[in-house]
A and B are shown apart, each in its own frame.
Chain A
Amino acid sequence: MAEAIQLRSVTKAYQRAGESLRVLDELDLTMAGGTFYALMGPSGSGKTTLLNLVGGLDHADSGAVLVGDVDLTRLDGGELAAWRAGNVGFVFQGFNLLPVLTARENVELPLQLTPLSRRQRRAQAERALQLVGLGDRMDHKPRELSGGQEQRVAIARAIATDPQVILADEPTGDLDRTTADAVLQLLQRLNRELGKTILMVTHDPQAAGYADKIIHLDKGKLGRIETNPGRG
Chain B
Amino acid sequence: MPWKLLWRNVVGHPVRSLLTVGAVAVAVFLVCVLNAVTSGLTRTLDAAAANRLLVQSAVSLFVDLPLSYQQKMASVPGIEAICKWQWFGGRYEQDKGGFFAQFGIDPETFLPSYPEMKITKGSYDDFKKLRTACVVGDELADKYGWQVGQTVPISGTIFQRTDGRPWEFTVAAIYRSSSPAVDNQTLWFQFDYLRESLEQGGATGPLGVGVYMLRMAPGTDPVAVQQAVDAMFENGPQRVQTTTEAEFNRQFISMLGDVPTLLQMIGGAVLFAIFFAVLNTMLMAGRERTRDLGVMKALGFTDRATGMLLVAESLLLCGLGAAAGIGVGLLAEAPFAVATASFLPGFGFDEGTLLLGAAIAVGVGLVAGVLPGRRAARLTAIAALREVG
A residues engaging B (CB < 8 A)?
Answer: 52, 55, 57-58, 77-78, 81-86, 90, 92, 94, 96, 98-101, 105, 109-110, 112-113, 157
Residue in A58, A81, A90, A101 whose Cβ sees the most chain B Cβ within 10 Å? A81
Judging by beta carbons under 8 Å apart, are A109 and B382 in contact? no
Residues of B within 8 A of A83 (CB): 300
> Dominant SS at the A interface?
helix
Residues of A within 8 A of B380 (CB): 57-58
Residues of B within 8 A of A110 (CB): 299-300
Q: Of B8, B12, B382, which contacts A52 at CB under 8 A?
A: B382
Judging by beta carbons under 8 Å apart, are A98 and B295 in contact? yes
A51 to B297, CA, bound (A): 15
Residues of B within 8 A of A52 (CB): 382
| Cβ-closest chain A residue relative to B292 | A98
Within 8 A of A (CB), among B89-112: none
A28 to B349, CA, bound (A): 72
Residues of A within 8 A of B300 (CB): 81-86, 110, 113
| Cβ-closest chain A residue relative to B7 | A100
Residues of B within 8 A of A100 (CB): 5, 8-9, 12
Assess whether B302 is interfacial by the CB under 8 Å rule: yes
Assess whether B301 is interfacial by the CB under 8 Å rule: yes
Q: Of B5, B9, B291, B299, which contacts A84 at CB under 8 A?
A: B299
Judging by beta carbons under 8 Å apart, are A77 and B303 in contact? yes
Residues of A within 8 A of B299 (CB): 84-85, 90, 109-110, 113, 157
A78 to B292, CA, bound (A): 19
**Contact status of A58 and B5, CB under 8 A, knowing A84-B300, A98-B292:** no
Q: How far is the CB of A60 from chain B (nearest CB, A)?
A: 13
Judging by beta carbons under 8 Å apart, are B295 and A96 in contact? yes
Judging by beta carbons under 8 Å apart, are A55 and B2 in contact? no
Judging by beta carbons under 8 Å apart, are A90 and B298 in contact? yes
A77 to B304, CA, bound (A): 11
Residues of B within 8 A of A78 (CB): 302-303
Judging by beta carbons under 8 Å apart, are B382 and A57 in contact? yes
Assess whether B4 is interfacial by the CB under 8 Å rule: yes
A111 to B192, CA, bound (A): 85
* Given A81-B302, A113-B299, 9 new contacts (CB under 8 A): A58-B382, A81-B300, A82-B302, A84-B300, A85-B299, A85-B300, A100-B9, A109-B296, A113-B300
Residues of A within 8 A of B301 (CB): 81, 85, 113
A78 to B301, CA, bound (A): 9
A74 to B41, CA, bound (A): 65
Assess whether B30 is interfacial by the CB under 8 Å rule: no
Q: Of B5, B291, B294, which contacts A109 at CB under 8 A?
A: B5
Within 8 A of A (CB), among B157-174: none
Q: Of B2, B292, B297, which contacts A81 at CB under 8 A?
A: B297
Judging by beta carbons under 8 Å apart, are B298 and A109 in contact? no
